[in-house]
Amino acid sequence: MNVDFNLLMDKAKDASKNSYSPFSRFAVGAAVLASSGNIYQGCNVENSSFGMTICAERCAIFKAVSEGEREIRAVAIYSPNADSCYPCGACRQVMYEFESDVEEIEVVTENLGQLEINKLSYFLPCGFKI
């Protein structure tokens, strides 16, 4: 499957506008490309009970899963508040859970205006799956 990384990043940027981040003021948007070709967007949603907060990547992945998707092909992550925005450990593990047995997830970030594309194993070299 060909991936339009620019389109995916544009969707992540668009999603960041919906961020609810009154505590950190660190808005994040994500766009997930499922193996079906569908794209799902998500943003971070904070809560005053910080443990209830969800990252943009997990928001987008859970939206995809709730629509019946089970394999993620690529994830774009964007924050207007940083030169680059990488996934946290929890998001890395969730991504790994929905990685295809055939194809590794590609993680797209933007660093100083340039797209960076890395395989998930770059961020999570020894993921855990049952």
Residues labelled catalytic: 57
DSSP-assigned letter for residue 36: T
User: What's the order of all strands across the beta sheet hosting 106-111?
Assistant: 39-43, 29-34, 72-78, 106-111, 114-119
Structure-block tokens of residue 41? 């967007």
| Dihedral angle over CA of 98, 44, 106, 92, nearest 10 | -60
Helices (H) and strands (E) in the chain, counts: 4, 5
Measured CA to CA, the distance from residue 81 to residue 84 in angstroms comes to 9
- CB count within 10 Å of CB 127 equals 14
